Structure 1
Amino acid sequence: MGDDSAVVEEGARKSGVLWLTLDRPRLAWHVWHDGAIYLVAGGGEQELPGLDALDRVRVTLRSKDNGARLVEFDAAVSRVDQAAEPGAVAALAKERLNAADSEHLTERWARDSLVVRLDPLP
């Protein structure tokens, strides 16, 4: 990704939302953790239809300040083994606002949701 990698990291750290190009552009909340973007889909969380079947997705980050498009890039999509990556799951749980079951959130995700890692591609 060259010079864009710093822009991607800064944009993903500063804004808690991004756009994924799926059946249509879909807004999703996420966290930046360990050099990648993590998000939760399904199971009562955000609906991101078709993401689980993709090996790459187009991501758009917008400026938190003015909403202008900051950067667009392709990212490799991989399913996260939630037990093997507790740090990523904890980072997501910390940023999940207004969850009705916050004390059992990670258990629900393990049972009902898909946690995804998006690695920006060069």
Structure 2
Amino acid sequence: MAAIEEGARKSGILWLTLDRPRLAWHAWHDGAIYVVTGGEEQELPGLDALDRVHVTLRSKDNGARLVEFEAAVTAVDPAEAADAVAVLAKERLNARDSEHLTERWARDSTILRLTPDTSTAGVTPGA
């Protein structure tokens, strides 16, 4: 779990295996990765319909693959996960409406929690 947490904290992007590998920005909070999709945000087609997704974290320093793992996918109610949504909003760069960002997400987007399955984690040596 340490490699997953370190990789997720150090880099604001990751790769998700969906219809094809998809680059996504995210935030790490309370032992999980949070992403927002839909509306005016990043398109991660089909992610909200999955129970699990393959995640790849890369090194912020050199782009090398750091760790890969499976993660459980769970939709998040923004009202019930205000702390996580606040962390996610802080990581959102260049939002056109930062003062109303979380309200827009609640209305137009889906927020998902990706909970790492550490039994599937594979760390790349020397990354």
The match for 1:56 among 43, 52, 55 is 52
Query: Partner letter of residue 75 of structure 1?
Result: A
Structure 2 residues not aligned, in runs of 5+: 120-127
Residue of structure 2 aligned with 1:42, choices 38, 46, 60: 38
**Partner residue of 2:23?**
27
Give 1:104 deviation, angstroms: 0.6
| Post-superposition CA distance 1:63-95 (Å, at most 9, x none) | 000000001000000000110000000001111
Counterpart residue identity of residue 75, structure 2 = R
Distance of 1:74 and 1:94 partners within structure 2: 25
Q: 1:100 aligns with which of 81, 96, 99?
A: 96
The alignment status of 1:68 with 2:70, answered yes or no, reads no
Number of equivalences: 118
Q: What is the CA-CA distance between 1:25 and the residue it aligns to?
A: 0.2
Alpha-carbon distance in 2 for matches of 1:104, 1:120: 30
Normalised to the residue count of structure 2, the TM-score between the two structures is 0.92
What's the % identity of the aligned pairs?
Answer: 79
Aligned amino acid, residue 62 of structure 2: N
TM-score for the superposition, normalised by structure 1: 0.96
Read off the aligned partner of 2:47 and give its amino acid letter. L
SS, match of residue 93 in structure 1: helix
* Structure 1 unmatched runs, 5+: none
**How far apart in 2 are the matches of 1:32 and 1:94?**
11
SS at match of 2:74: strand
Instruction: Tell me what 1:91 maps to.
Output: 87
Find the aligned partners of 2:115 and 2:48 in 1 and give their Cα distance.
Answer: 15
Answering whether residue 119 of structure 2 is matched by residue 120 of structure 1, we say no
RMSD across aligned positions (CA): 0.5
1:52 match: secondary structure: helix
